[in-house]
Homo-oligomer: A and B are copies of this chain.
């Protein structure tokens, strides 16, 4: 079996009685005689040789690693993305390095500069908040970056975005078809990219379907988390009585379901609830959650492919993809009042 001692090309070469260069050639490229190949293979096997990653990286400039920066490992939408990305990059021969940056752009800027230290060949970034500094850092990066999420129009970076507005439109349309008129929004922080998009989408949809809204029908959670969702929903129910709630997130929606149950409201009979992202949590919830599928899996997949392409061809034209949303209808809106 493989030895536990650490070995290198020189050792293999010595044992095989050939030069280091030849060993490298046999193991990587071609151009070697039968005899040579046989002896090298044998020696490598006997010594349990495994090439050293850092030396190879130093020489070739490739790390075979791709970094994925997510704001919160606990958010099911990131879990979904991780799953997709892992599989795509793995197939292409890359390892995935997951960095959990906080929601603070400063963390992401740190990440970018350490990226340039060369521990990855490219970065998938899904920033919650976008600041001028972050954009500058992205522009200044030597390495390819693909952004999952919306970017300002003048930033010439590959990115794959969701279409929140259309997605929320689908949800509102579905709710209006059930004669729901007092449609509330439980949003995440509006200074985040998704938060802002959700709010805009909500307002547009309300207008398009001739509904009215008011500040009492709109609450903002302090984060995209379950606990924040509980608090925000409690506040909402204290100040108005909606017949439907659109949430910026499945986690927020599950929180809304719980809070409604605690308040004695029936879902969907009294209040319908719609989540967003269509993650596993939507199916697991009770009642199961109607959710706007913003295509997170598709986005992650597209982004990963885009990044791999760009790594291979740095001069390819910039691509901006928009993934179309769809609505997964489940129990939380099913039996209309």
Contacts and interface: CB of A to CB of B under 8 A. Distances in A.
Contacts of A283: 226
A2 interface: yes
Interface string A269-306: 00000000000110111100000000000000000000
State how many copies of this chain the complex holds. Answer: 2
5 contacts: A6-B142, A52-B58, A54-B54, A97-B98, A261-B286
Interface residues of A, number: 52
A272 B51 CA distance: 55
A143 to B, nearest CB: 10
A74 B2 contact: no
B100 A119 contact: no
A291 to B, nearest CB: 14
Contact of A97 (B1, B97, B136): B97
Interface of A: 1-2, 4-6, 48, 50-55, 57-58, 63, 65, 73-74, 79-80, 82-83, 86-87, 90, 95-100, 113-114, 116-119, 136, 140-142, 226, 254, 257-258, 261, 280-281, 283-286
A112 to B, nearest CB: 10
Contact of A86 (B50, B73, B116, B119): B73
